[in-house]
Amino acid sequence: MAEIPKTKKKRDAEATKSRILMAAKSEFAKRGLGGARVDEIAELAEANKRMLYHYFGSKEDLFRTVLEEAYLDIRKAERELNLEDLSPTDALETLVRFTWQYYLDNPEFITLVNSENLHGARHIKSLDNLPETMRGLVGMVDEILVKGQATGEFRSGIDAAQLNITIAAIGYYYLTNRHTGSFLFGRDLMEEKALDERLAFNIETVLRLVRADAQGN
Amino acid sequence: MAEIPKTKKKRDAEATKSRILMAAKSEFAKRGLGGARVDEIAELAEANKRMLYHYFGSKEDLFRTVLEEAYLDIRKAERELNLEDLSPTDALETLVRFTWQYYLDNPEFITLVNSENLHGARHIKSLDNLPETMRGLVGMVDEILVKGQATGEFRSGIDAAQLNITIAAIGYYYLTNRHTGSFLFGRDLMEEKALDERLAFNIETVLRLVRADAQGN
DNA sequence: TAAAGAAGTAACTAGTTAGTGCATTAAAGG
DNA sequence: CCTTTAATGCACTAACTAGTTACTTCTTTA
């Protein structure tokens, strides 16, 4: 008799590790670090809990790994936008659109970051490659701002780090608080029309913030 | 012999209830709904855990009460700003400053809201007085916008709800992510100078967003 | 092909946690 | 006073949870 074909290869360390990581991302995103259950992650990954401890050491170490991957991934995607090839205005609009869409496509990112902040950022503090990549992003935005000033599109004196924070904030806040927001405002903030409106508003916000006015400031 | 004066009266239902509520706010803010410990709340309140269940029924009901108080409190404080008495520009700047300072003075508000969103806003959904107060705030901002258009200070076509969300977002995001932010940016986002800079940037953001430009839009 | 090591499993442990049963004690009205 | 009712305290339990022990099974390579 023919063997039942298994989706899961009998022995594959990399695949198991990767399944655990994906399951962990999903579970941590759904319930936070504290609310996540190690048994649930193992089951979701179709792996044994022992393997989770074998590969990742502890629940918190697993969380750290998930977080690191999440941060590296968004920074990588940002770099791949090649903003330096666009006009300053287009570059900023593209960054606002990207940030918004990234949060929509990767909702776990927001929950992971929230969870990490609830715990005083103690997990990422040992990951010293993360500040480097953040400096890269701020540097990129700063270049856009300098270029925009040179062309006269933008005013001077804008802090790149603050602008970065604001671009993240206006999307992040809307999405992280979508449940309370939908209830308090009495309408579904996640329906397509509402999302489109919010994105348009955010682009307007950022462009008006940087644009040189009639007096050139 | 004179009786030892006790700070705590022997029997005082209201006082005990209130101490439990304050303790719960603090514990929920520090650890979130899932991470908070009922025993910890009782101890912090110098009350017995039995009393907590006597007065509030369950951990989740207690959380709901804490949340309701928090929302009612910020909305009340906003109303007391009497923004309608200020010029449109001053009114918006005041609202931005207030929102920022409220988050700074009441850091538990942010954590409570985050926790509630992690749980799909399921606790506040039974509190139907909250959407009313939110409508009040949006209405107030809308009046400011209408008045500002009339005086020519503001451009037309600004959505009051979106503006509200943005005013909250630019402060909330910075503060809720202060731990990861401080680490990623490599500097303490909570030192006085940094806070002042952020507030100034936020006021600039909002005023440029609403201001009528040279062409009157 | 044999042996060694890596991958995988099930059952268990020690500690924790929300919630409760029941007895006791203080206050307030008659 | 004395009775009733509400406030309070202690000790318990049933369920849960991160992490581990002791073992089996597969794969690779010398």
- For residues A15, A19, A21 and A22, what is the CA-based torsion angle, rounded to 10 degrees? 130
Distance set, CA B8 to CA A78, B20, B45 (Å): 58, 13, 11
CA to C1' distance (Å), from A148 to C10: 64
Determine the pLDDT at residue B10.
Answer: 58
- For strand D, give the nucleotides within 7 A of a protein CB: 6-11, 17-22, 26-27
Determine the pLDDT at residue B216.
Answer: 61
- Percentage with pLDDT > 90 across chain B: 82
Cα distance between residue B62 and residue B12, in whole Å: 19
Beta strands in A11-105 (DSSP E): none
Of A165-174, A193-202, B2-11, which gets the smallest average pLDDT?
B2-11
Of A8-22, A170-184, B51-65, which gets the smallest average pLDDT?
A8-22
3-class secondary-structure state, position B123? coil
pLDDT at A3 over 50: no
Which part of chain B has CATH 1.10.357.10?
A: 64-210
Which positions in chain B touch A142 (Cβ < 8 Å)?
none
Residue type for position B166: T
pLDDT at A2 over 60: no
Instruction: State pLDDT tens for residues A76-99.
Output: 999 999 999 999 999 999 999 999
Determine the pLDDT at residue B92.
Answer: 98
Burial of B8 (0-12, 13-18, 19+ CB in 10 A): exposed
**In the CATH scheme, what is the homologous superfamily, with its name and number, of domain A12-57?**
Homeodomain-like (1.10.10.60)
pLDDT tier at A215, thresholds 50, 70, 90: low
pLDDT tier at A152, thresholds 50, 70, 90: very high
Higher pLDDT: A11 or B79? It is: B79
Q: Hey, which residues does A154 pair with through a beta bridge?
A: A211
Which part of chain A has CATH 1.10.357.10?
A: 60-210
Instruction: State pLDDT tens for residues B159-181.
Output: 999 999 999 999 999 999 999 99
Three-state SS sequence of A177-197: CHHHHHHHHCCCCCCHHHHHH
Could you write out the DSSP letters of every residue in B16-64? HHHHHHHHHHHHHHHHHHHH--HHHHHHHTTS-HHHHHHHHSSHHHHHH
pLDDT at B148 over 60: yes
**Strand C atom within 7 Å of B50 CB:** yes
Of A12-16, A156-160, B117-121, B172-176, which gets the smallest average pLDDT?
A12-16
Average model confidence (pLDDT) for chain A? 91
pLDDT at B200 over 60: yes
CB spacing of A134 vs B173 below 8 angstroms: no
Determine the pLDDT at residue A47.
Answer: 85
Domain A60-210 -> CATH class: mainly alpha
pLDDT tier at B217, thresholds 50, 70, 90: low
Burial A46-82 (b: 16+ CB within 10 A, else e): ebeeebbeebbeebeebbbbbbbebbeebbeebeeee
Which part of chain B has CATH 1.10.10.60?
A: 11-57
Average model confidence (pLDDT) for chain B? 91
Nucleotide with C1' nearest the B9 CA: C26
pLDDT at A11 over 70: no
Cα distance between residue B195 and residue A128, in whole Å: 25
A71: phi > 0 → left, psi -120 to 50 → alpha, else beta; which?
alpha
Q: What is B64-210's CATH number?
A: 1.10.357.10
Which part of chain A has CATH 1.10.10.60?
A: 12-57
Contact B67, B185 (CB under 8 A): no
Domain B11-57 -> CATH class: mainly alpha
CB spacing of B183 vs A31 below 8 angstroms: no
CA to C1' distance (Å), from A113 to C15: 29
**What are the φ and ψ backbone dihedral angles of A151, each rounded to 5 degrees?**
-80, -10
Q: Supply the DSSP symbol for B154.
A: B
Average the pLDDT over B64-68 and give the result: 95
Contact A205, B166 (CB under 8 A): yes
CA to C1' distance (Å), from B52 to D6: 15
pLDDT tier at A48, thresholds 50, 70, 90: confident
Average the pLDDT over A135-142 and give the result: 97
CB spacing of A179 vs B120 below 8 angstroms: yes
Determine the pLDDT at residue B215.
Answer: 67
User: Which residues are CB-neighbours of A163 under 8 A, at least 6 positions away?
Assistant: A141, A145, A206, A209, A210
Residue B28: name the closest of B16, B19, B14, B41 by CA. B41
Determine the pLDDT at residue B49.
Answer: 87
Average the pLDDT over B46-69 and give the result: 91
